[in-house]
Amino acid sequence: MTHRFPISYEEMLQHAVPPPPLRAQYGHRAEQFGELWLPPGTGPFSVVLLVHGGCWRNTLPGLEFVRPFAAALQAYGLAVWNVEYRRIGDDGGGYPGTFLDVAASADYLHVLGRDHPLDLRRVVAVGHSAGA
């Protein structure tokens, strides 16, 4: 198969990705949730906190844009917490809401660690574009 690079985000969203294994709310707002991708095995697993980009605007794709990356990291044996957050255009999005949401999603790893084999001593944050 021949690929043309770079590809648009519309083309990226067309790539087949398995559904996220677990969705969890880390806050009360609809936008405050994440997807936990656990690899096979007993763990404990090192964790990647994955933060999508998109200019912090709710008119652009969110965490679905980085699902292929989450699935690839999972295949390498890492747990991935792929998070959504309030963005510009959402009630409370922008400064400071967006930043508070990402911080709250990171804190929520302690809750997830109660029921899932996460090694919370080995966590790295990875972001795409504005998520970086």
Q: What is the pLDDT of residues 78-99, one digit of tens each?
A: 999 999 999 999 999 999 999 9
Over the stretch 8-65, which tens digit does the pLDDT of each residue have?
767 777 777 777 789 999 999 999 999 999 999 999 999 999 999 888 888 887 898 8
- The CA-atom distances, in angstroms, between 33 and each of 104, 105, 106, 121, 123 are 10, 8, 11, 22, 18
pTM over 0.85: yes
For the domain 22-131, what is the CATH code? 3.40.50.1820
Q: Provide CB contacts within 8 A for 88, sequence distance 6+.
A: 55, 56, 57, 58, 94, 98
Q: 118 pLDDT exceeds 90?
A: yes
Nearest by Cα to 24 from 119, 114, 88: 114
